[in-house]
Amino acid sequence: MALPAALQNLSLPVIGSPMFIASGPALVAAQCKAGIVGSFPALNARPAELLDVWLTDLQAELAAYQAEHPNAKVGPIAVNQIVHQSNDRLAHDVAVCVKHKVPIIISSLRAPPPEMMDAIHGYGGIVLHDVISIRHAQKALEAGVDGLILVAAGAGGHAGPLSPFALVGEVRKFFKGTIALSGAIATGDAILAAQAMGADFAYIGSRWLATKEAHVDDAYRQAIVESSAADVVYTNLFTGVHGNYLKKSIVNAGLDPDNLPEADKSKMNFGSGGTGAKAWRDIWGAGQGVGLMDDVPSVAQMVDRLQTEYQAARKRLAL
């Protein structure tokens, strides 16, 4: 099946994943200018009225950049929408995205309702839905999404427990459309590996945390650079949904990362899990690929590096 038009003219088969707090206009603009998909959660724009401002400014900046660099590949903007009853901004944020005709919407947690799908498809946008299991994938496809983001073991933030080989392989049995794969992808070799196992795109998050444009504290960047896979903890304590977090931030919050209690799975809270530490602000999400991140480049430098590694891997395999 052909890829959606919005995803056909990229410098690399990469979608920058939307990261709470960390993904702001500077990071998104840099990703798009580097030729990959730049994304951010709608909820990062606070108050809600700021979403319209962000999209207006980003679209103007990217249009001006394209005009100045007519031969450059400029990636599209994607906005993440949290489909959950706790998100009282969903209708507003979707309406703003419809106004701006955002080409890609990334839906999370629950499959988008019909009215949301109709509104996005009405202007030619596409919806990619992130899932951690076969059941979630099937429900999303029943809702009419245009592609799937498979969040496998090792991904930063909310992540599933399945091996990417198992998850991609089983989904490909019943879905021939667009698939992006997430889970400890931090190098150009890994981008090619994701394609080799059946995905169309790599969905990369944590690598952008340690870039100059990420909206994070320098302490967070430094923790990424200093950590390895052994320093990542998988727990549902902080939001009610299992995710991967840096052990250092858990220790800094006064908790024992090796003896964390289980959260009440029926109470998704996106707060502190009763710990007093705020998820994403105090407890830092990161994937198991952090051991491959040793510096803090700009996004442009990072994409150039990924391109070099990707092409070298293709050459080694004579592709």
DSSP for 285-303 reads B--GGGGG------HHHHH
pLDDT tens profile 135-148: 999 999 999 999 99
Identify whether residues 110 and 236 lie together within a single domain: no
Co-location of 55 and 24 in the same domain: yes
If asked whether residues 132 and 88 sit together in one domain, one would say yes
CB-CB contact of 227 with 219 (8 Å): no
Mean pLDDT for 102-127 is: 97
In a domain, residue 94? The reply is yes
Alpha-carbon span 172 to 199, nearest angstrom: 9
Q: What is the mean pLDDT of the chain?
A: 94
CA dihedral for 149, 30, 19, 188, sign (positive or negative):
positive
pLDDT at 153: 96
Structure tokens at 219: 């302490």
Q: Which of 51-65, 261-275, 280-294 has the highest mean pLDDT?
A: 51-65
Q: Tell me the whole-structure pTM to 2 decimals.
A: 0.93
Does residue 220 belong to any structural domain of this protein?
Answer: no
Q: Residue 316 pLDDT > 90, yes or no?
A: yes
Phi, psi of 126 (to 5 degrees): -125, 155
Are 88 and 153 found together in one domain?
yes
- For residue 179, tell me if it sits in a domain: yes
Flag whether pLDDT at 193 surpasses 70: yes
Co-location of 200 and 73 in the same domain = yes
- Classified as helix, coil or strand, 184 is coil
Evaluate whether residue 24 is within a structural domain. Answer: yes
The verdict on 161 and 250 lying in the same domain is: no
pLDDT, position 262? 83
Same domain, 190 and 54: yes
Query: What's the average model confidence in pLDDT over 74-87?
Result: 96
Looking at the fold, whether 132 and 246 belong to one and the same domain comes out as no
Q: Are residues 301 and 281 in the same domain?
A: no
Q: Which residue range(s) make up the domain with 48? A: 5-212+297-316
Q: Is the pLDDT assigned to residue 270 strictly greater than 50?
A: no
pLDDT band at 268 (very low <50, low <70, confident <90, very high): very low
What is the tens place of the pLDDT at every residue in 15-60? 999 999 999 999 999 999 999 999 999 999 999 999 999 999 999 9
Task: Cite the beta strand spans of the chain per DSSP E.
Answer: 14-16, 38-41, 77-82, 104-108, 126-131, 147-151, 157-158, 178-182, 201-204, 232-235, 243-246
Provide the CATH number for the domain around residue 49.
3.20.20.70
Question: Does some domain include residue 219?
Answer: no
Two tokens at 233?
């903890």
Q: 256 and 311 share a domain?
A: no
Task: Kindly state the average pLDDT of the residues 269-287.
Answer: 69
In order of 107, 112, 176, 251, 291, the CA distances from 142 in angstroms are: 14, 10, 14, 42, 38
Judged against a pLDDT cut of 70, whether residue 265 lies above it is answered with no
Q: Do 36 and 172 belong to one domain?
A: yes
Same domain membership, residue 92 and residue 240 = no
- Judge whether 199 lies within some domain: yes
Residue 181 to residue 15: CA distance in whole angstroms: 9
Once rounded to an integer, what is the mean pLDDT over residues 212-239? 95
**150 inside domain:** yes
Counting the structural domains of the chain, the total is 2
Is residue 290 included in any domain, yes or no?
Answer: no
Largest CA distance in the chain: 55
pLDDT of 205 above 50? yes
